[in-house]
Structure 1
Amino acid sequence: MKAVAWLLLACSFPCLLMGQNYLRGEVKDEQGRLLQGVRIQLASTGTYPYYTGNLGSFGIPSSRLIDTITLSYEGYDTLRTAIDTRKTQFFVLKMQPELANFYRARLSSLTNHLQTEPVVPASVMGESYSDIMENRFIQASQYPETGFALNIDKASYSNIRRFIHNNMRVPVHAIRIEEMLNYFSYPAAENSRAFTCQTTVTSCPWQQEHQLLYLHIHAPQLQLDSVPPSNLVFLIDVSGSMDKPNRLPLLQSAFKLLADNLRPQDTISIMTYGGNVRIALAPTGGAEKKKIKAVIDSLSAAGDTPGAGAIQQAYALASHTYMRNGNNRVILATDGDFNVGQSSEKELEDLIVQYRKSGIYLTCLGVGMGNYKDSKLEVLAKKGNGNFAYLDHLGEAQKVLVTEFTQTLYAVANNATVIVRFNPSLVKTYRLIGFDNKRTALNDSTRELEGGEIGSGHALMALFEIEPATTHSSTENLASIDLRYQLPDSASFMHHAFTASNQPIAIEKAEHAYQFAAAVSMFGAVLKGSPYTKDLTLEKVLAFAEPVVDPANIQQEELLQLIKQAIEIYHPSKKRKKKK
């Protein structure tokens, strides 16, 4: 009997040795941020990998008292060192310079003499907006060069519409004029496979002595037969705050519209978060529309909002089904009211920037009112190499996810910026309209632009208000323009050079697109209470817009109705007097 016992003990001895040590530890970066998903290999386990969890921690069995650990994480230097497996280990990974650069506060537009001002919280009725500072006039003789970031964000316009439709004044910080301009279509003169930039100079409708310089930039259009397959992860907020008709039910209808656009070669996954994070639909082919829609219909709202943890897991799922040379994207749909885990703008920024180089894009769809966190979704979209829209009704979902499907979901350029160099002999001062910066970014000393993502076929209109110099020349160019961007899956930058000639025309003689863009800009400026258009009123904006708007264009006609409704909200006494 004793012989048998000794034999059993001898046979089990190797197993006891294998499990006798359990290595524990955590991994952070140099700023103290816990890193999830760090790849860990031990010499004792060969090539089998382990990974850190949500809190950057790990626990791994080891058969050795002294082992060798290798830690690797994209964007960080690989760390390899000997360890004592009996002790808890704390590791710090060093960030590589290219990734560290993304963490620096970046600007939406840039000049070299911007003054910093105190940061004032921007909160309205429980909603949060980034506190922004309007661009001012710049002396061209001292600072002839300026720039701004390109993107396809359009959230501000539909959010403004939501406030006006509810007979409410629009919070000043909710008004981003470049996104109002972005909302509308501006057809290009030609359908090119390369970026184009048309420029026009007109008189300024609110300042007689000034001019407007328009930059109409058009992105190349992907050919339908060359649109790559998509790997999409729908990340849907099903927390308790989403239990209202204009939140989860609206998103369910929106995602079913998107499902109708999926092709057999596309892959769709659905992840939800509300109380906990779960995979509602494992990766499924786009042909299985009935199955996809059934899962969408089955969702219900309850629980708290672990948004940060959900984002991490959604990226992990997108990485697992990653399509090389495909369109890999997480689509986050939420009111932005994260209340568990990392939830501040700075924490979310630090979280999302880790994934910027992953090849996975991010689209943010905002919904709701009262607790809508515009500032958080804006941070995620801009730092996550993505785009941002606000859905106030199903028609907007149709526009974003069906009509503008390729613009929203297929990028043709990353880190896109425009640098404009004005000719001081022709321009005394200039002011970029829109593209206003967060005060927190202005307080940072790096003074660098945050490039944006551009979708297939997107047309962008940017405006400068110019005070002409006393000298005039039709032979010299007013400005030179440098468009700078990266192609998807490319680290190198491409450049396109354009020029703006000095041949101003009256605004009344300009093409319809430019007249309409001026009307949109004027509307935004008056709602903001801009000091640069202080003589403008909503009534004057309406008088300018009425002959400009195309009544056959539903979106343009809607703008006209919004201006009229805004007059009733902002100037009710004038409206009553007029009726008498």
Structure 2
Amino acid sequence: MVKKAASKEKRLMSVTRDLQFEEKVKYSFGGETYSSLRENDFMDASRFPFTDFAINTDKASYSNIRRFLNMGTAVPPDAVRIEEMLNYFNLEHRAPDNGDVFRIETKLSDCPWKPGNQLFFIKASAKKLDLESIPPSNLVFLIDVSGSMDMPNRLPLLKSAFKLMVNNLRAIDTVSIVVYGGTVGVWMTPTSGAEKEKIHKSIEELYPGGSTAGESGILSAYRLAQSQFIPNGNNRVILATDGDFNVGQTSEEDLERLIIQQRQKGIYLTCLGVGMGNYKDSKLEVLAKKGNGNFSYIDDEKEAEKVLVKELTQTMYSVADDALMHVHFRPEALKSYRLIGFDNKYAAISDTSSILEGGEVGSGHTLMAIFELELKDTTHTSSLAIGDVEVSYKLPGDSISRKLIEKITVTPEQFTSLPPTYQFASGVALFGSLLKESRFTKNCSWQKVYTIVHPVIKPDDYLQAEFLTLLEKAKKIYYKGKPSRLRSSSMR
């Protein structure tokens, strides 16, 4: 009975305790699907001093946004997840002390887009695993080879991506390949990471065709992963697809039930999304988050290299599971607060059985949470007791819940005096808010984003430089009034 009840629960990204929300409508964009999101409101700190949210390593939203802007089109508002946009960038990792899993840092400054308000930053850096002692991996590449993958930015891109990843595997790592499309089956039996030529050849010989029997492929991959299970190792299925599951179980609810059953076996799930037009972001997000895993969108070979080579340990090796951040604000210090990003699905809000479920945090990952605050006294120049921050998590393979608690006392700083990382993160958050057409930043301009980030851009940081290029593209696209037409035409 317990398992049956749990299978119906929907996953919340954040929750303000004791607050109830209403159900809303859904958005879609052409043949692509995105989970409808409800932006977090300002909360009265005296009535709702506690707020909690899930933390993870997901980065898919930013590269998907980049794909739309590079095509010269506006971004579907529900494709914008600000916490994933912040996850995408290097936020200057600082190693935790004394063997802790997390290091917490906080800052408080004036809000550049709302005079009189403040921004409260919580930066959490996860510990880095020692590359020499990373446990052996049991990896199953679950690759969609259906007919819809027969495009240059789908299967050929994934083949290049997996070959890049294989180059970094060790002899103690094991790789298997399961395919699904016209047929479902084991394409390559478990093979040592040392046999790179054999693995490359198997990947190169993949060809597309047929329907997408997603359910059967997932079950087959998990069975194979379980047969090669490494106790205390990194056991993971890596699903690569455009998410167009058109045979077998197709609804998000069905996929949730399937993955919940499989994750009990101690096998992680990483989802790599590709493609456009029929890309199913909503389904891949469900799979990753219900499967104790993470989610990336690969739009080109540079992104493949970033996710599967440069950030391999972040993507593939967890240091914390079921990770949640809990913030207790002190009502005597502030009137209200708004969590930027970490927005919930409308369906989860309206479901009384919904729960807040933690995420997976990868090795060496640094995340940033930003709150917009209305303080009771804006003249503070000395230290201010904002509240308490707690991170709860479990170690991989462990059922014991652990906690790191920090009492937060911060000294307000001028925004321009903040470290460049914090200023840049604020610009990214505002960029996402404008893409979402947020009612909280409706009086802001794209030029304001430029004013925030341009002084702190690192000339040798390719991703930050690219951000400026995307900002310029967004300014031209949205100046033409496309987002309003997009919103009205995408309602279903």
TM-score > 0.5 by shorter chain: yes
In the other structure, the counterpart of 2:470 is: 562
Q: Name the structure 1 match of 2:283.
A: 376
CA distance in 1, matches of 2:386, 2:379: 10
| Matches of 1:301 and 1:315, distance apart in 2 | 22
Whether 2:53 is the aligned partner of 1:148: answer: yes
Query: How far did residue 398 of structure 1 move?
Result: 0.2
Cα 1:201–1:471 change in 2 (3 A) is closer
Deviation at 1:115, TM superposition (A): 4.2
* Corresponding residue to 1:255 among 162, 183, 203: 162
Aligned to 1:406: 313
Which of 310, 317, 328 is the aligned partner of 2:235? 328
Q: Is the 8 A contact 2:13 2:54 kept in 1?
A: yes
The residue aligned with 1:487 is 395
Equivalents in 2 of 1:303, 1:471: separation in Å? 63
CA distance in 2 between partners of 1:367 and 1:439 (Å): 25
**Residue number among 142, 154, 158 corresponding to 1:235 in the alignment:** 142
State the partner residue of 2:265.
Answer: 358
Does structure 2 retain, via aligned residues, the 8 Å contact 1:426–1:471? Answer: no
Corresponding residue for residue 310 of structure 1: 217
User: Letter of the aligned partner of 1:480 in structure 2?
Assistant: D
1:539 aligns with 2:447: yes
- CA deviation profile, 1:303-350 (whole Å, cap 9, x unmatched): 000001110110000000000111000000000000001001111111
How much does 1:447 deviate? 5.2
Counterpart amino acid of residue 561 in structure 1: T
Are 1:225 and 2:132 counterparts? yes
Shift of 1:112: 2.8
Spell out the pairing of 1:417-456 with structure 2 (5 A cutoff): 417-446=324-353, 448-456=355-363
Say whether 1:297 aligns with 2:204.
yes
Equivalent residues in 2 for 1:501-540 (5 A)? 501-540=409-448
In structure 1, how many angstroms separate the alpha carbons of the residues matched to 2:197 and 2:415? Answer: 52
- Give distance in 2, aligned partners of 1:286 and 1:188: 29
* CA distance, structure 1, for counterparts of residue 440 and residue 476 of structure 2: 23
Secondary structure of the residue aligned to 1:236 is strand
- The residue that corresponds to 1:283 in the other structure is 190
Aligned partners of 1:120, 1:301: CA distance in 2, in Å? 36
CA distance in 2, matches of 1:471, 1:206: 16
Structure 2 residue corresponding to 1:180, chosen from 76, 82, 85: 85
Give the letter for the 1:323 counterpart: I
**Which residue identity does 2:158 align to in structure 1?**
L
Q: CA deviation at 1:174?
A: 0.2
Q: What secondary structure is seen at the aligned counterpart in 1 of 2:440?
A: helix
Partner deviation per Cα, 1:14-42 (whole Å, 9 max, x = no partner): xxxxxxxxxxxxxxxxxxxxxxxxxxxxx
Per-residue deviation at 1:463? 0.3
SS of 1:547's partner is helix
Separation in 2, partners of 1:207, 1:568: 24
- Please, which of 269, 276, 280 is the counterpart of residue 176 of structure 2? 269
Q: Secondary structure at the match of 2:455?
A: coil
1:510 counterpart letter in structure 2: L
Instruction: State how far apart, in whole Å, the 2-side matches of 1:416 and 1:294 are.
Output: 38
Query: Among 275, 283, 304, which residue is 1:397 paired with?
Result: 304
Equivalent of 2:255, from 348, 355, 361? Answer: 348
What fraction of aligned residue pairs are identical, expressed as a percent? Answer: 52
Give the aligned CA root-mean-square deviation in angstroms. 1.6
* Unpaired segments ≥5 residues, structure 1: 1-93, 574-580
**Take 1:516 and 1:504, find their aligned partners in 2: how far apart are those partners?**
18
Change in CA separation of 1:430 and 1:224 when aligned onto 2, cut-off 3 Å = same
Three-state SS of the structure 2 residue aligned to 1:442 is: helix
> Could you tell me which amino acid in structure 2 is paired with residue 109 of structure 1?
S
Secondary structure at the counterpart of residue 332 of structure 2: coil
Deviation at 1:120, TM superposition (A): 1.9
Shift of 1:116: 3.0
Higher relative contact order (CA 8 A, sep 6+): 2
Deviation at 1:476, TM superposition (A): 4.9
1:139/1:430 contact within 8 Å kept: yes
The answer to whether the aligner puts 1:215 opposite 2:122 as a matched pair is yes
Letter in 2 for 1:180: M
Within the candidate set 462, 477, 502, 2:385 is matched to 477
Asked whether the 8 Å contact 1:486–1:493 carries over to 2, the reply is yes
Q: Is the 8 A contact 1:112 1:447 kept in 2?
A: no
Q: Which residue of 2 aligns with 1:38?
A: none
Shift of 1:475: 5.2
Is contact 2:424-2:452 (8 Å) kept? no
Separation in structure 1 between the aligned mates of residue 445 and residue 111 of structure 2, nearest angstrom: 15
Structure 1 pair 106/572, CA: closer, same or farther in 2 (3 Å)?
closer
Deviates more, 1:332-341 or 1:189-198: 189-198
Deviations 1:413-447 (A, max 9, x none): 11000000001111110000000000011012245
Q: Deviations over 1:482-537 (max 9, x none)?
A: 10000011111000001221311111000011000001001000111101111111
Q: 1:246 matched to which residue of 2?
A: 153
Shift of 1:171: 0.3
Q: TM-score, normalised by structure 1?
A: 0.81
4+ residue runs of structure 1 moved beyond 6 angstroms? none
Paired amino acid for 1:506? Q
SS in 2 for 1:546: helix
Q: Does structure 1 residue 549 correspond to structure 2 residue 454? A: no
Residue 372 of structure 1: how far off its partner (Å): 0.1
Kindly provide the amino acid, as one letter, of the partner of residue 151 in structure 1: N
Between 458-467 and 471-480, the greater mean CA deviation after superposition: 471-480
Matched residue count: 479
Q: Where do 1:104-183 residues align within 5 Å?
A: 104-183=9-88
Greater CA deviation, 229-238 or 190-199? 190-199
Structure 2 residue runs of 5 or longer lacking an equivalent are 482-492
Go from structure 1 to structure 2 and tell me whether the alpha carbon gap of 1:132 and 1:203 turns closer, same or farther (over 3 Å shift).
same
The two structures have a TM-score, normalised by structure 2, of 0.95
For 1:128 and 1:532, locate their aligned partners in 2 and report how far apart those are by CA, in whole Å.
25
Task: Find the aligned partners of 2:123 and 2:7 in 1 and give their Cα distance.
Answer: 28
CA contact (8 A) 1:426 1:472 kept: no
**Secondary structure class of the residue paired with 1:489:** coil
Counterpart amino acid of residue 484 in structure 1:
S
SS in 1 for 2:226: helix
| CA–CA distance in structure 1, aligned partners of residues 8 and 421 of structure 2 | 37
SS in 1 for 2:421: helix
Partner Cα separation in structure 1 for residue 480 and residue 250 of structure 2:
39
Change (3 A) 1:140 1:191: closer
